[in-house]
Amino acid sequence: MKKVYVIGTGMTKFGKLEKTGRELAIEAANDAILESGINVRDIEATYVSNAFGIGEEQLHMGPIINGSLGIPEIPSLSIESACSGGSAAFNQAYIALSGGYYDAALVVGYEKLSMNRTPENTKYFAMASDYWYEGMNGVTFPGLYALMASAHMNRYGTTEEMLGSVSIKNHMNGSYNSKAHLQKAIDMDTYLKSPVVASPLKLYDACPFSDGAAAIVLVNEDFNIDRPEKIEVLASARAGSMATLQDREELTGIPGARIATEKALKVSGLELKDITFVEVHDCFTIAEIMALEDIGFFPRGEGGRASLDGLTQFDGKLPVNSSGGLKAKGHPISATGIAQIVEIHDQMLYKVDSHRQVSDPHIGLTHNVGATGGSVSINIFKRSR
Amino acid sequence: MMHSVRDYAPALKRGELLGYHCQSCGREWLTSLNVCPFCSSSKIEDVSLPKKGKILAYTFQNVVPEQLQSKAPYVIAVIELTDKSRIQARIEDYMPSMGNIIGREVGILRGDESGLVFRLS
């Protein structure tokens, strides 16, 4: 397999934005190409992820992006994988480049949701569940994660304060991220008093509905680039779990995350202790705790305690979601998986605010989940000189 | 002949939980799948699942989908039926003063176009 490198990134502000999905996607794509420094004509294919474009009555955005970049003749592929669409698109580009089919590719993820009312967005999100056996009974997306939180708290004694510590940390990191949706620190009292959405989960356990886009330019080793530091993709692994939550043996974790992690570690030849910082899929606070246990950074049932003890702060033993995570940075569905990679890249090049810069951004891992875990992506990156 | 996912809701209205039974390993489940999720056998047949079980996990939802606005707030639970198959359903007679209801026994109350409803027994 050929080595693959991230050589340029672009990311719009995340939040409730005036711009259309089309404008956001093009802005991120253009910024990624400019940062990469390569000639746009060297891009051989574009991988575009979006989940709810139907809300803007616009699907098939790839040709529009390519046309606006002046490369309408190159192929594009549209990819949807619920909240993990961005990393699914990244994975497809990685496969094509590592196999040598293409030498340079553009990956774009974008979402535009803020023009919809909350009930519409709630309905769209529920469509990523198993409708007949979950959504029809009235469970919402927060409800599904609340069921997992309920099982986790019952089995392991995970507490509200443990969930709260995840939210507080991610809000603190997000307050130093100028592109984050929610740039506001919160305290435990604010967290505990926030309204319950689906018990045990409260408003401050949940990520916001965000608009936004992120893009990266990937090249393989055959593409001649000369720069002092490179961000190499050491592994890009995907796996799955039963779509229907109750059909999994365990409700307290996501099996696909464990499987994808095993694959990624095997391919990269790394052990977990080699990983120096991570971006994980914290659509709800419980999801970050389960992610850290699924990947294996902490034993089952101890992820909440680790968070409460500060081990996952940007200056802790294992920095988790230095970007603010989905919780504070925001969650423009299909942009999320790519935005996680943008954070890894920016941390490795010391381009982030010093209040959230991790001390050893040497080997980073991203964990991105589609729906309740039907799809999971794990990617590992290394800064090499 | 195995039932289609489309037959599930009409069966609910008759008060029947239409599921599947694996002739190879004997396990039962509700979700429409063409092979047994436990042993991958395709020798599966229709079965009426038991109407009693216990709660494995639950959430009290204050924010609910538009079509169920009139029933809010309500509890959604993952229930393990007596044959070990698992379902999700609303629990109708829950009161927040009851505290933790994990492990509590429940029975089917009704099923209709708004889904499956159980009650604490």
Closest to A340 in 3D by CA, of A64, A74, A93, A109: A109
Determine the pLDDT at residue A125. 80
Q: Which chain A residue lies closest to B30 (C-alpha atoms)?
A: A133
> Would you list the domain boundaries of chain B?
5-48, 52-120
Q: Looking at residues A13-17, what average pLDDT do you find?
A: 98
Query: In degrees rounded to 5, what are phi and psi of residue A123?
Result: -65, -45
Asked whether residue A32 is assigned to any structural domain, the reply reads yes
Task: Report residues of chain B scoring pLDDT below 70.
Answer: 1
Res. A298: pLDDT tops 70: yes
Contact: A199, B71; criterion CB under 8 Å: no
Of B58, B71, B114, the CB nearest to A150: B58
Counting the structural domains of chain A, the total is: 1
Q: Are A42 and A88 in contact (CB under 8 A)?
A: no
Determine the pLDDT at residue A128. 80
Best A118, A132, A139 member to test B by mutation, with max B CBs in 10 Å, is A139
CB within 8 Å of A323: residues ≥ 6 apart: A173, A174, A177, A180, A279, A329, A339, A340, A343, A352, A356
Q: Which residues pair with B89 in a beta bridge?
A: B77
The C-alpha torsion from A154 through A158 and A159 to A165, rounded to 10°, is -150
Query: Please, what's the largest Cα pairwise distance for chain A?
Result: 56
Res. A123: pLDDT tops 80: no
Contact: A139, B31; criterion CB under 8 Å: no
Contact: A137, B71; criterion CB under 8 Å: no
Helix axis angle, A160-174 to A285-295, nearest 10°: 100
Q: Which chain A residue lies closest to B36 (C-alpha atoms)?
A: A247
Contact: A123, B66; criterion CB under 8 Å: yes
- Which tens digit of pLDDT belongs to each residue from A76-98? 999 999 999 999 999 999 999 99
* Mean pLDDT of chain A, nearest integer: 96
CB within 8 Å of B83: residues ≥ 6 apart: B28, B49, B50
Instruction: Determine the Cα–Cα distance for residues A127 and A115; give it in Å rounded to an integer.
Output: 18
Contact: A143, B115; criterion CB under 8 Å: no
Determine the pLDDT at residue A292. 98
Determine the pLDDT at residue A122. 77
ipTM tops 0.85:
yes
The CATH classification of domain B5-48, taken from the options 2.40.10, 1.10.10, 2.20.28, 3.40.50 = 2.20.28
Please give the C-alpha separations between residue B52 and each of A138, A281, A384, B14, B85, in angstroms, as whole numbers: 20, 36, 59, 16, 11
**Residues of chain A with C-beta less than 8 angstroms from the C-beta of B97:** none
Q: Looking at residues A143-160, what average pLDDT do you find?
A: 98
Contact: A151, B115; criterion CB under 8 Å: no
Res. A313: pLDDT tops 80: yes
Q: Looking at residues A52-75, what average pLDDT do you find?
A: 95
Instruction: Determine the Cα–Cα distance for residues A270 and A372; give it in Å rounded to an integer.
Output: 27
**Residues of chain B with C-beta less than 8 angstroms from the C-beta of A132:** 5, 8-9, 31-32
Determine the pLDDT at residue B65. 87
B52-120 belongs to CATH 3.40.630.30? no
Closest to B76 in 3D by CA, of A367, A257, A172, A141: A141
Q: How close does chain B come to A286, measured CA to CA in Å?
A: 14
Q: Looking at residues A279-294, what average pLDDT do you find?
A: 98
Cβ–Cβ contacts within 10 Å for residue A120, how many?
14
Query: In degrees rounded to 5, what are phi and psi of residue B42?
Result: -100, 5
DSSP-derived secondary structure letter, A207: P
Res. A36: pLDDT tops 90: yes
Helix (H) or strand (E) holding A171: helix A160-174
Q: How close does chain B come to A346, measured CA to CA in Å?
A: 37
Determine the pLDDT at residue B2. 86
Q: Where are the beta strands (DSSP E) in chain A?
A: 4-11, 45-49, 76-79, 104-111, 196-198, 201-202, 212-220, 230-240, 277-279, 363-370, 375-384
Instruction: Determine the Cα–Cα distance for residues A103 and A289; give it in Å rounded to an integer.
Output: 37
**Enclosing domain of residue A87:** 4-116+209-220
Determine the pLDDT at residue A252. 98
For chain B, the residues whose C-beta falls within 8 A of a C-beta of chain A are 5, 8-9, 29-32, 37, 56-66, 68, 71, 74, 76-79, 86-90, 100, 102, 114-116
Res. A119: pLDDT tops 80: no
Res. A155: pLDDT tops 80: yes
Q: What is the CATH number of the domain that holds A35?
A: 3.40.47.10
Please give the C-alpha separations between residue A9 and each of A102, A124, A226, in angstroms, as whole numbers: 19, 29, 17
- Which tens digit of pLDDT belongs to each residue from A324-369? 999 999 999 999 999 999 999 999 999 999 999 999 999 999 999 9
Which two structure tokens, joined as six digits, stand for A118?
């909350």
**Residues of chain A with C-beta less than 8 angstroms from the C-beta of B30:** 133
Active site residues of A: 83, 331
**Residues of chain B with C-beta less than 8 angstroms from the C-beta of A126:** 65
